[in-house]
Amino acid sequence: MNARQRFLETLRFGQPDRPSTYDFHIRDDVLERWYDEGFPRGASVAELFGLDRWELFGPRTDVSLNLYMSEPFEGRLRRRADLRRLRRGYDASNPRRYPPDWSEQVRCWRERDYPLGITAWRGWLQSLAVGDWLSLLDVLYLVHDDPKLLDEMTMFITDFTLAVIERALREVQFDYAIFDEPIASNHAPVVSPPHFRRFLLPAYHRIIERLRQAGIEIFIWDTHGHVGPLLPVCLEAGINCLWSGDSKPSGTDYVPLRSRYGRWLALIGGIDLRVLYQDEAAIRAEIETTVPPLLASGGYVPMVDGRLRRGVPYRNYVLYRTLIQQTTRGDNP
């Protein structure tokens, strides 16, 4: 199987030759430490550890889709006049929302053997210009004081997003879609499940309906923190895969989630990043309690639940990847 076939078989609970394997891009400062600890200069982490290639057409990627406001939003978001100002920053017809070499990228992607995704939602709060406590408070007050206006804002962002991604959906066959939704702390979601259903369920329904028309079947909720209370609404919307950062620190343990949701929810990640800063025993214990039961039920890509920082020794990363490789191949760690 190639990486694309393996990815699809894994997250569809199919029969891959082995589970798809992936990891976050390793930061340059981490590599600088690792060079002193034995990592070969010029080597590729993906090649060295047998990781699959995944690619995403979205914000902040090598081939970038611009879903941001074209001009900064200044001031508060509290009334209809503020919504008019917000609208001005979201011009879906701006040609700069696609990279200048878009046509060439489309040609390259037609011959790919790796999975390609699209960011289909940039995040509710981010799209409403939340960037600090005051702007978050503005949105939360609207939940109570003027929910109809917040409905209108959310539907406008949904219209904008659908308009921007339409060209990509017509010209490229994507394998998965990302719903980027940072909406929780390590203690609780920012909004309650009823409010999440009120404001976001209609938006998700509309976008997922269009994605399904485009032949996409895998809808990944890319989030972090204590999001468990919101998952039933996500599944109701059509989300069928969770990729959660800081899962273990927030109590979002994948093993109980699999017991609760079964094949309704594929999973990416779920290994506690914190153990990579500890010793061999901690790493082994985390891998052995998390990975085998999730792999046994399928629909799982094993990896840590966050991006590595410089404090992770190279030997710990080697052990982590080796144990996963042994487990996915059915060897005895």
> What does the pLDDT read at residue 333?
47
Q: How many CA atoms lie within 13 A of 104 on its CB side?
A: 4
Overall average pLDDT of the 291-300 stretch: 96
C-alpha 200/C-alpha 214 separation (Å) is 21
The mean pLDDT value for 135-139 works out to 95
Please provide the average confidence, as pLDDT, over all residues in the chain: 95
d(CA 216, CA 118): 10
103 token code pair: 């046509």
Q: What is the β-pairing status of strands 116-121 and 176-180?
A: parallel
Q: How does pLDDT run across 69-100, given as a tens digit for each residue?
A: 998 888 889 899 999 999 999 999 999 999 99
pTM of the predicted protein model: 0.95
- What is the average per-residue pLDDT within 194-223? 98
> What is the tens place of the pLDDT at every residue in 27-76?
999 999 999 999 999 899 999 999 999 999 999 888 899 999 998 888 88
Return the pLDDT at 260: 97
Q: How far apart are CA 18 and CA 81, in angstroms?
A: 54
CB 241 within 8 A of CB 11: yes
**Coil, strand or helix at 113:** coil
CA distances 107 to 103, 104, 114, 119, 227, Å, are 6, 5, 14, 20, 38
The architecture that CATH gives domain 3-328 is Alpha-Beta Barrel (3.20)
The closest of 65, 85, 75, 187 to 131, measured between CA atoms, is 75
Q: What is the mean pLDDT of residues 141-168?
A: 96
For the ranges 1-15, 61-75, 226-240, which has the lowest average pLDDT?
A: 61-75
pLDDT at residue 255 is higher than 80: yes
CB 142 within 8 A of CB 149: yes
Structure tokens at 154: 């959310």
- Does residue 270 register a pLDDT over 90? yes
H runs (alpha helix) in the chain: 3-11, 28-36, 45-48, 80-88, 102-110, 124-127, 133-145, 147-171, 193-213, 231-237, 254-261, 280-297, 314-328
Residue spans of the domains in the chain: they are 3-328
**Buried-state track 239-271, b at ≥16 Cβ within 10 A, e below 16:** bbbbbbbbbbbbebbbeebbeebeeebbbbbbb
User: 302 pLDDT exceeds 50?
Assistant: yes
Pairing relation of β-strands 218-224 and 55-57? unpaired
Burial of residue 287, with CB atoms counted within 10 A of its CB: 0-12 exposed, 13-18 middle, 19 or more buried:
buried
